[in-house]
Amino acid sequence: MSRAEVEQLDDRGMAAWDQHDTAAFADLLAEGFTFTDVMAPEPFRTREQVQAYMDTWFMAFPDMRIRATRRVVSDDEVAAEVEFTGTNTGPVRMGDQEIPATGKSVVGTGTYFASVTDGKIASFRAHPDVAALMRQLGLMPGM
């Protein structure tokens, strides 16, 4: 793929997140993909698992909006820094724990790295800044 095609694929993925369209994001995943998040104990290997993961974010932050603040693209990979805003009006799920809604608004950040094969995402690795998010929600002391 060209860098422009990888960038377009990433744009579609970001749009799916921003529009809370879990099916559209899942459609971008290659057969045999892996999706990891630093908060998840195991990689996700089915589209349904990825959609459920996304739904937990949208349940916790129903008004979530997301955008890339920096991105690096090659012919088969993309890395990005992202920022999301939202109000925590639903429970936050972290691993096997559920934290009640705080009602607080946040500006969250994170990074992701994706590998692309044959026009689809073969590997997606998410690294949300969980500590900063927990501080903004009042669930962890500030520094």
Q: What is the CATH number of the domain that holds 43?
A: 3.10.450.50
**141 inside domain:** no
**13 inside domain:** yes
For 28, 119, 122, 139, the CA distances from 5, given in Å and listed in that order, are 13, 8, 15, 41
**125 inside domain:** yes
pTM of the complete model: 0.91
pLDDT at 84: 96
Which structural domain range is residue 102 located in?
Answer: 3-136
For 99, 108, 112, the CA distances from 68, given in Å and listed in that order, are 27, 12, 10
**34 inside domain:** yes
pLDDT at 132: 94
**130 inside domain:** yes
**142 inside domain:** no
CB 9 within 8 A of CB 119: yes
pLDDT at 68: 95
**41 inside domain:** yes
**143 inside domain:** no
pLDDT at 16: 98
Local confidence pLDDT in tens for the 143 residues of the chain: 899 999 999 999 999 999 999 999 999 999 999 999 988 889 999 999 999 999 999 999 999 999 999 999 999 999 999 999 999 999 988 767 888 999 999 999 999 999 999 999 999 999 999 999 999 999 888 65
pLDDT at 106: 96
Q: Are strands 97-99 and 77-87 parallel, antiparallel or unpaired?
A: unpaired
Overall number of domains in the chain: 1
